[in-house]
């Protein structure tokens, strides 16, 4: 009996010691800083029309959890989901549709669609999930050439676009609030309004177009999972702000990804940034 008791104590001690030595790849917190988990995130996602999944573009945990959420939500809703992403521009929707339907090859698609350099590792799994399961995948972002001209000359330059070109952007005029903290912060990061006065407007054009394309293409009863850089939906601004403008009846859930030195407690600066905050270590490896 004494030997058995000693063995039990040793096993418990070893277990606790091993637990202390474990390194977690991520933690999930609610917007008020309470520790939560992927199950709760999945449960909340089922009760919203739109899930804005804000990523750090080069973070593997972001991309892995995007895929896991997509797969699990697909199973939990019996396939009633659709996808969309910042990383594909609206004028490439035809190319994307042709690939999803098997009309063109992946090589044709990737060579013509102006995809991001990390497409193969980080975004093709989502697109190929949609292809395998016959899901809609919406190219939501504004063509970069139009964001570029707004960055150079402001919103007024969009008025000169052709009727066909305007189909790829949100309806004009673009609502814009320069006092939103995300746009003010962007302006300050670039040295103030005198250096890049129109940069936040170019960002707003992207946000507005993504929001417009999400709402325009949503199927009633489906959960729309949208992948975007966290800056486009943090603090319930960006895409979220425009969704409230264009489609106020849609219920949107926001997820963000942040890096911290210590992931066992949410830093004060990250409180309230999103409904769910995925915290990863600063030392996490990058996808590029």
Per-residue pLDDT tens for 4-38?
Answer: 444 343 434 434 444 456 889 999 999 999 999 99
The structure's pTM equals 0.91
Write down how long the chain is: 288
Say how far apart CA 268 and CA 15 lie, in whole Å: 32
Q: Tell me the three state secondary structure of residue 279.
A: strand
Q: What is the CA radius of gyration of the chain?
A: 21
CB 123 within 8 A of CB 85: yes
CB-hemisphere CA count at 13 Å for 38? 14
Q: What is the pLDDT of residues 136-148, one digit of tens each?
A: 999 999 999 999 9
248 class by beta-carbon count within 10 Å (0-12 exposed, 13-18 middle, 19+ buried): exposed
Parallel, antiparallel or unpaired: strands 276-281 and 27-30: antiparallel
- Residue ranges of the chain whose pLDDT lies below 50: 1-19
Q: Output the six-digit token pair for 163.
A: 């009727």
DSSP, residue by residue, 164-199: HHHTTSPPSSPP--TTSHHHHHHHHHTTSTTTSTTH
Q: Tell me the three state secondary structure of residue 52.
A: strand
Say how far apart CA 118 and CA 60 lie, in whole Å: 11
**What per-residue confidence (pLDDT) applies to 245?**
98
Q: What is the pLDDT of residues 104-136, one digit of tens each?
A: 999 999 999 999 999 999 999 999 999 999 999
Say how far apart CA 87 and CA 12 lie, in whole Å: 48
Say how far apart CA 237 and CA 79 lie, in whole Å: 29
CB 176 within 8 A of CB 204: yes
């Amino acid at each position: 009996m004494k030997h058995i008791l000693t063995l039990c104590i040793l096993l418990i001690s070893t277990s606790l010691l091993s637990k202390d030595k474990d390194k977690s790849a991520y933690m999930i917190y609610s917007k008020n800083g309470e520790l939560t988990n992927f199950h709760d995130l999945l449960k909340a996602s089922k009760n919203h029309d739109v899930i804005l999944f804000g990523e750090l573009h080069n973070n593997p945990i972001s991309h892995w959890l995007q895929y896991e959420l997509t797969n699990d939500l697909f199973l939990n809703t019996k396939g009633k989901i659709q996808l969309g992403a910042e990383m594909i521009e609206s004028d490439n929707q035809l190319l994307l549709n042709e690939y999803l339907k098997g009309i063109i090859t992946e090589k044709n698609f990737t060579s013509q669609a102006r995809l991001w350099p990390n497409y193969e590792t980080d975004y093709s799994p989502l697109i190929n999930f949609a292809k395998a399961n016959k899901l809609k995948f919406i190219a939501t972002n504004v063509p970069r050439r139009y964001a570029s001209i707004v960055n150079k000359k402001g919103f007024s330059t969009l008025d000169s676009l052709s009727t066909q070109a305007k189909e790829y952007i949100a309806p004009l005029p673009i609502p814009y609030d320069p006092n939103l903290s995300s746009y003010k912060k962007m302006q300050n990061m670039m040295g103030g309004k005198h250096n890049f006065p129109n940069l936040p407007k170019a960002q707003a054009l992207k946000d507005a177009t993504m929001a417009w394309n999400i709402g325009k293409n949503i199927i009633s009863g489906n959960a729309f999972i949208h992948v975007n850089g966290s800056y486009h939906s943090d603090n319930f601004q960006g895409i979220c702000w425009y969704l409230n403008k264009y489609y106020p009846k849609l219920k949107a859930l926001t997820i963000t990804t942040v890096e911290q030195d210590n992931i066992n407690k949410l830093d004060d600066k990250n409180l309230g940034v999103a409904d769910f905050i995925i915290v990863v270590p600063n030392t996490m490896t990058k996808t590029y």
